[in-house]
């Protein structure tokens, strides 16, 4: 259906698509493809080198996986902060990726773990690193005939990792600022959410960390942050707030690492 | 006694208006104004809809006056050519398919020739924005005691401050809704409401129908908090008009987004204080100005303003007081009743101001309150002599003790000195709340209640006061059972059906237990006398006598009655606003402990102690639940509940963007009661329902000030606002 | 379209429309009105049901997605087991209550969750405006006594 029609919308958990469904009468006209019967896409799998999330793996599936908690604690941290249990039981990581919200909770941690999106279509299989998946607000490297069938996460030893979601309350909150930071042999990954049209890595901040810069306070980070993100004022928060929170969280969370070359 | 209807609610068997089976009904929906002000130049019906399939109602279909009867006759049932706020109802539609009527609402275009709206109540309106009187002031009120200007001029210290509170949306978990249908000639309206007789009066007036041809029945109500005090009359009228025109039953249930955007909210307020004191902190003069935003129709704004100014000076002794109040007309969606009803707004200002005063004088905030808290024999701002025997200092001391206030101050000082990013602090608020209608209001209500005796010897309480979670069914059962020595199973509470129950007054103003409960007791006494027993008869003797009476009078109704009588010695002058504003005040002291994260500027309440004296606690579980619920609403109002406005209407009208606290956002609320039975309240009780929301916001802001050194003056104190203060 | 599922322990067959939400099917088609609608956007949890044993928001589930699956509503709970909730003040107006009870009962059935989660975190998907949450949290803790679960709040 996807190949022929292109206008059909795949639906997994429905936690984004069904919001206010009765009121959004125009959404009732569209065609949806129910992915839920695709059982092989549900489980997550461990190989020697990777954690493979399926196209229908939910947040709850990861929270319940003991090994995920040990090796990829940010996945569990992020999953626990998505909505609440009722959403975690239904929402899928893949759905979070293709919903492409700049405030998504799953995407930043996946990106900080160098996740790769696996797409399938009639034309074959394609793999796109998540940090190259988004090209603009709600625009991504996914053709309408492609389905996300998996997410590959390389297994690594991480020297440091943190996920911070700053919302207006502890649960059931849309992020005003999201930050996922990891450090491994592959280098620093600093990923920011809700501060740009897409979730993205912050190469200027990463470079600061790699080169051993030593900011004296959060405000010293502002010029660097400005190179990487462009937050806006919206119904939830302001650009001023978002930028400063990002600077303060980075400054304080990473205070053991500033001033050290990678 | 456990909550009477708990199991029905826990199992989902309790049926709310949208749960009731209804044969052959139509779904009703409302077409609303897109503009805040202007003349309706056209109503265009889209060509893609077969309108012959719909019931369509406009203002011309209203049989009586196009007015929703309340204090003033200014608010139309449906706009007739002119609109004064966004979302004002213009047209009603009904169809058997809910989806069809949703689509149809979108296909109607209401064209408005816009005029200049008044959208900021804090500034004087421009000449072309005057829409009420000569200055858009809906109501002026003033309280005066002594000579405030002279006293201020002579005061050693004068401290001024301006404080602001934002609107608050009720977010009752059951949205508003009504069913209307004809039973023969009788129009029956059923739904979620606090005041069946308010709804009845509105229906009688606009539909030109008298009893018994119109009847109102309250269905189990999923939360009200004042939001279902006056607004349900609108929905009742809308559903009724559709049912009358369409000839079929109509169900009209608001979607959450519609409910949040189009119904009433707490009045925003701006309060200015000028306070004269001696150097050791004794109040010498209080000059207070209270301004509230009433929105585009009068609704209950004069009464909200009244309660706001009466409570504005706080539970303190001061010889010279002037409080002026203004309720402003604006083109915002009209504001209305919300738990506390003006007192939370003015007491937020007063209690925050007390800490500002303490800081200015270099006095401990606790000491400042100790010096000024009312002692018996002293008078309030309206000149009411306080003589209830409550030890108000003991209330405060208990709160300080339970919260370990002094020790925490030391702990916080150490914590704040060493922690890189977190700051902690505790804040106090001492406050009060008068229960029942102000002054002569209870007398004017002429509340009446009946307790009927049934052939099986049991009794039935017939009252218009409803259950919306606060425990009416349980407390009335307990009071009647205790009075007559019966088991709870022998007592039933009648459905609040205007065809069966007398008008015992609205379920508002913290009056249900204290005042209406008193009517339950007296009507039970009256019933007992009617079956030939004296007041000492109890239990089996009462049941026997009732059963015997029915055998001797087959087919006749048996009931005891009671009508409200004011307690002796209450005098109030509505013109000068002097005298005994309320029969009883409940007194409270709350302590909030907060932790502020300097990185994100978010504030978490990590401990909360709520101590109050409420006469007598009739049911500890219910009373504790009322306090905890009110406190959490206060926490939300203080820190995270923010209405974002566009053209005077709520733009963030969904639960993802208007945030109320979740279980993970609040600590356990630790509650303690002191008792001092109120002789004129049922079982010695004073009103309790609204008191708990008066205290949390100032206690929290006082705590944040302590923790961080900033001086916040407005709520909600969102992280964004706190960041501005910290920078 | 015709679908079959297991509802409250029994097999059922239903004729539904593709655009139906599970919440609407339960309430309006099957007259199982215990499950409530509070927001329509998965924020308040009043519509909580179990899907294959996990609590979910039925306002966000297309009914056709539950074909072949197991759905349980508040009507399937044993009223006798709800005594702790009565005693500890879990309900006031009752509008959030069925959803609260569903999530709470699920916690009670999985006491091991308290090794990693607090009760308050697990209940955060059920908004309540009346109780301030203490009555709810206390009830869950009470219900967990006797299951060997930890009493962390």
Tokens, residue C151: 């009493």
Numbered ranges of CATH 3.30.365.10 in chain B: 390-434+584-727, 441-563
Query: Tens of pLDDT along A161-194?
Result: 999 999 999 888 889 999 999 999 999 999 999 9
Contact criterion met (CB < 8 Å) for A84 and C65: no
Contact (CB, 8 A) for B658 and B643: yes
The architecture in CATH of the region A158-261 reads 2-Layer Sandwich (3.30)
Chain A CB within 8 Å of residue B446 CB: no
Distance CA A218, CA B500 (A): 68
Maximum separation of any 2 CA atoms in chain C, in Å = 46
With an 8 Å Cβ cutoff, are C95 and B172 in contact? yes
B305-353 confidence digits (pLDDT tens): 999 999 999 999 999 999 999 999 999 999 999 999 999 999 999 999 9
| Residue in A closest to B656 by C-alpha | A173
pLDDT at B2 over 80: yes
> How far, in whole angstroms, is CA C49 from its chain's centroid?
4
CATH architecture group of domain C2-75: Roll (3.10)
Is the pLDDT assigned to residue C150 strictly greater than 60? no
Residue C153 has pLDDT above 70, yes or no: no
- Cross-chain Cβ contact B664/C120 below 8 Å: yes
Q: How far apart are CA A227 and CA A218, in angstroms?
A: 15
- Average pLDDT of the segment spanning C87-92: 97
One DSSP character per residue, A195-214 reads SSSS-EE-HHHHHHHHTT--
Interchain CB contacts (distance < 8 Å): A and B: 69
3-class DSSP assignment, residue B613:
strand
Interchain CB distance below 8 Å, B662 and A249: no
What is the dotted CATH code of the domain comprising B390-434+584-727? Answer: 3.30.365.10
Q: Is A122 on the interface with B (CB under 8 A)?
A: no
List, as ranges, residues 177-206 from A with C-beta within 8 Å of C: none
Chain-centre distance for alpha carbon A36 = 22
Phi-psi region of B133 (alpha: psi -120 to 50; beta: other; left: phi over 0): left
Task: Please say if the pLDDT value at position B161 is more than 90.
Answer: yes
- Asked if the model's pLDDT at residue C147 lies above 90, the reply is no
pLDDT score of B252: 98
Kindly determine whether residue B659 and residue A249, on different chains, have CB atoms separated by under 8 Å. no
What ipTM describes this predicted complex? 0.97
Fold for domain B441-563?
Answer: Aldehyde Oxidoreductase; domain 4 (3.30.365)
Q: If you average pLDDT over residues B403-427, what whole number do you get? A: 98
CA–CA separation, B471 vs C135, rounded Å? Answer: 14
Q: Where are the domains of chain C?
A: 2-75, 77-145
Query: Which two three-digit tokens encode residue B270?
Result: 């701006």
The pLDDT-based confidence of B482 (bands split at 50, 70, 90) is: very high
According to DSSP, the β-strands at A134-136 and A187-193 are unpaired
Q: What is the pLDDT of residue B560?
A: 98
Question: B603 CB near a chain A CB, below 8 Å?
Answer: no
Domain boundaries, given as residue ranges, for chain A = 9-154, 158-261
pTM of the model: 0.97
Q: Tokens 């502890």 sit at which residue?
A: A170
Q: Subunits that touch chain C (at least 3 Cβ pairs < 8 angstroms)? A: A, B
Token digits for A125?
Answer: 């299989």
Q: How far is A131 from chain C (nearest CA, A)?
A: 29
**A contact test, residue of C45, C57, C110, C136 with most A CBs within 10 A:** C57
Residues with Cβ within 8 Å of B473's Cβ and at least 6 positions away in sequence, in order, are B3, B4, B5, B467, B493
Where would I find the H helices in B570-718? 620-639, 696-708
DSSP annotation string for B672-707? EEE----TTSGGG----SSGGGTSHHHHHHHHHHHH
Average pLDDT, chain B: 97
With CB atoms and an 8 Å threshold, state whether B651 touches A241: no
Q: Does domain A9-154 have CATH number 3.30.465.10?
A: yes
Q: Determine contact: C34 vs chain A, CB below 8 A.
A: no
Å between C69 CA and nearest CA of chain B: 23
Place of tokens 């000082």: B413
- Could you give the CA distance from residue B258 to residue B102 in angstroms, rounded to a whole number? 12
Mean pLDDT of B165-174: 98
Nearest by CB to B468, from C44, C93, C132: name it: C93
Cβ distance A174 to B656 less than 8 Å, yes or no, reads: yes
Q: Which chains touch A (3 or more CB pairs under 8 A)?
A: B, C
Confidence label for A3 from pLDDT (cuts 50, 70 and 90): low
Position C12 scores a pLDDT of: 98
Which of A23, A172, A235 lies closest to B662 in CB terms? Answer: A172
Q: What is B208-234 written as a DSSP string?
A: T--TTSEEEEE---S--TTTTTSTHHH
CATH number, domain B17-116+177-261: 3.90.1170.50
CB contact set of B48 (below 8 Å; sequence gap of 6+): B107
CA C100 to chain A, closest CA, distance in angstroms equals 11
Q: Please provide the distance, in angstroms rounded to a whole number, between the alpha carbons at the two ends of chain C.
A: 45
Mean pLDDT across A247-259: 95
Q: Could B12 and C137 be called an inter-chain contact, meaning their C-beta atoms sit closer than 8 Å? A: no
**Looking at the domain covering C77-145, what would its CATH class be?**
mainly alpha
Give the Cα separation of B312 and C103 in Å (integer).
43
- The percent of residues in chain B predicted with pLDDT above 70, rounded, is 100
């Amino acid at each position: 259906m996807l190949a022929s029609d292109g206008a059909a919308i795949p639906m997994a958990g429905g936690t984004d698509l069904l919001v206010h469904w009765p009121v959004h009468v125009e959404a009732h006209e569209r065609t949806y493809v129910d992915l839920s019967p695709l059982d092989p896409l549900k489980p997550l799998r461990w190989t020697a080198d990777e954690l493979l999330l399926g196209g229908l793996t939910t947040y709850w599936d990861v929270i319940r996986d003991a090994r995920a908690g040990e090796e990829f604690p940010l996945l569990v941290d992020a999953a626990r902060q998505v909505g609440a249990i009722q959403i975690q039981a239904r929402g899928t990581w893949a759905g979070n990726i293709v919903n492409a919200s700049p405030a998504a909770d799953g995407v930043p941690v996946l990106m900080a773990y160098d996740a790769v999106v696996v797409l399938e279509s009639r034309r074959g299989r394609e793999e796109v690193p998540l940090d190259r998946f988004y090209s603009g607000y709600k625009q991504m490297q996914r053709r309408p005939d492609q389905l996300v069938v998996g997410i590959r996460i390389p297994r690594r030893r991480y020297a440091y990792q943190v996920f911070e979601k700053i919302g207006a309350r502890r649960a059931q909150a849309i992020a005003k600022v999201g930050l996922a930071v990891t450090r491994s042999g592959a280098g620093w990954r600093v990923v920011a959410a809700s501060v740009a049209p897409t979730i993205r890595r912050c190469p200027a901040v990463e470079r600061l960390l790699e080169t051993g810069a030593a900011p004296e306070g959060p405000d010293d980070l502002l010029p660097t942050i400005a190179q990487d993100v462009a937050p806006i004022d919206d119904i939830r928060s302001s650009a001023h707030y978002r930028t400063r929170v990002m600077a303060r969280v980075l400054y304080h969370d990473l205070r053991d690492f500033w001033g050290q070359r990678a | 006694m456990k909550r009477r209807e708990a199991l029905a609610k826990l199992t989902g068997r309790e049926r709310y208006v949208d749960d009731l089976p209804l044969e052959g009904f139509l779904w009703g929906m409302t077409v609303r104004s897109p503009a805040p002000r202007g003349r309706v130049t056209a109503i265009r019906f889209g060509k893609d809809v077969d309108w012959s399939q719909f019931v369509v109602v406009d203002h011309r279909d209203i049989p009586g006056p196009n007015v929703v009867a309340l204090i003033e006759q200014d608010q139309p049932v449906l706009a007739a050519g002119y609109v004064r706020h966004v979302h004002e109802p213009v047209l009603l539609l009904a169809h058997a398919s809910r989806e069809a009527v949703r689509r149809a609402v979108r296909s109607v275009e209401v064209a408005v020739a816009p005029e200049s709206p008044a959208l900021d109540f804090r500034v004087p309106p421009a000449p072309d924005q005057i829409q009420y009187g000569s200055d858009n002031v809906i109501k002026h009120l003033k309280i005066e005691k002594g000579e405030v200007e002279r006293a201020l001029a002579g005061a050693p210290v004068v401290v001024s401050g301006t404080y602001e509170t934002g609107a608050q949306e009720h977010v009752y978990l059951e949205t508003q809704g009504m069913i209307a249908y004809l039973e023969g000639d009788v129009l029956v309206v059923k739904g979620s409401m606090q005041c069946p007789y308010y709804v009845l009066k509105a229906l009688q007036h606009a539909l030109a129908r008298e009893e018994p041809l119109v009847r109102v029945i309250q269905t189990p109500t999923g939360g009200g908090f004042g939001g279902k005090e006056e607004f349900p009359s609108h929905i009742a009228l809308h559903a009724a008009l559709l049912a009358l025109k369409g000839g079929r039953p109509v169900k009209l249930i608001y979607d959450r987004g519609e409910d949040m955007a189009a119904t009433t909210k707490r009045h925003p307020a701006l309060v200015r204080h000028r306070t004269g004191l001696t150097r050791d902190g004794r109040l010498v003069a209080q000059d207070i100005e209270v301004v509230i935003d009433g929105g585009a129709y009068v609704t209950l704004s004069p009464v909200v303003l009244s309660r706001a100014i009466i409570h504005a000076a706080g539970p303190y002794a001061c010889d010279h007081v002037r409080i002026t109040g203004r309720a402003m007309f604006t083109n915002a969606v009209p504001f209305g009743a919300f738990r506390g009803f003006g007192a939370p707004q003015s007491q937020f200002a007063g209690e925050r101001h007390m800490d500002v005063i303490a800081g200015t004088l270099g006095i401990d905030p606790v000491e400042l309150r100790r010096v000024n808290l009312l002692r018996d024999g002293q008078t309030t701002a309206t000149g009411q002599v306080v003589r209830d025997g409550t030890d108000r200092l003991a209330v405060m001391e208990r709160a300080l003790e339970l919260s370990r206030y002094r020790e925490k101050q030391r702990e916080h000082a150490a914590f704040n000195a060493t922690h890189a990013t977190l700051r902690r602090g505790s804040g106090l608020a001492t406050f009060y709340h008068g229960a029942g209608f102000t002054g002569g209001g209870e007398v004017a209500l002429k509340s009446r209640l009946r307790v009927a005796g049934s052939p099986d010897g049991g009794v039935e309480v017939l009252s218009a006061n409803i259950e919306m979670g606060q425990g009416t069914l349980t407390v009335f059962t307990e009071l009647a059972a205790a009075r007559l020595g019966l088991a709870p199973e022998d007592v039933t509470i009648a459905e609040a059906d205007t065809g069966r129950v007398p008008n015992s007054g609205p379920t508002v103003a913290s009056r249900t237990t204290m005042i209406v409960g008193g009517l339950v007791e007296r009507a039970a006494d009256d019933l007992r006398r009617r079956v030939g027993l004296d007041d000492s008869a109890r239990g089996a003797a009462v049941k026997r006598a009732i059963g015997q009476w029915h055998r001797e009078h087959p087919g006749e109704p048996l009931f005891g009655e009671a009508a409200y009588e004011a307690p002796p010695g209450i005098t109030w002058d509505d013109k000068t606003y002097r005298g005994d504003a309320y029969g009883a005040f409940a007194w409270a002291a709350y302590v909030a402990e907060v932790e502020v994260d300097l990185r994100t500027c978010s504030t978490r309440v990590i401990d909360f102690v709520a101590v109050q004296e409420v006469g007598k606690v009739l049911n500890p579980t219910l009373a504790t639940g009322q306090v905890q619920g009110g406190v959490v609403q206060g926490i939300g109002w203080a820190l995270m509940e923010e209405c974002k406005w566009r053209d005077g209407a709520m733009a963030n009208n969904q639960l993802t963007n208007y945030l109320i606290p979740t279980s993970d956002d609040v600590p356990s609320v630790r509650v303690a009661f002191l008792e001092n039975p109120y002789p004129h309240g049922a079982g010695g009780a004073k009103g309790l329902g609204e008191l708990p929301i008066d205290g949390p916001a100032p206690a929290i802001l006082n705590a944040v000030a302590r923790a961080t050194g900033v001086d916040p003056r407005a709520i909600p104190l969102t992280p964004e606002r706190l960041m501005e203060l910290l920078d | 379209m015709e679908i079959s599922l297991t509802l409250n322990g029994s097999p059922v067959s239903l004729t539904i429309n593709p655009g139906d939400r599970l919440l609407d099917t339960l309430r309006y088609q099957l007259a199982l009105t215990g499950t409530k609608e509070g927001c329509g956007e998965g924020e308040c949890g009043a519509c909580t049901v179990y899907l294959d044993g996990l609590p979910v928001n039925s306002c966000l589930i297309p009914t056709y997605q539950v074909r072949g699956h197991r759905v349980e509503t508040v009507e399937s709970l044993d009223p006798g087991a709800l005594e702790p909730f009565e005693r500890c003040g879990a309900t006031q107006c009752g509008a959030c209550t069925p959803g609260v009870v569903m999530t709470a009962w699920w916690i009670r059935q999985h006491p091991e969750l308290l090794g990693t989660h607090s009760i308050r975190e697990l209940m955060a998907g059920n908004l309540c405006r009346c109780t301030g949450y203490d009555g709810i949290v206390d009830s869950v803790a009470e219900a967990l006594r006797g299951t060997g679960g930890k009493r962390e709040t």
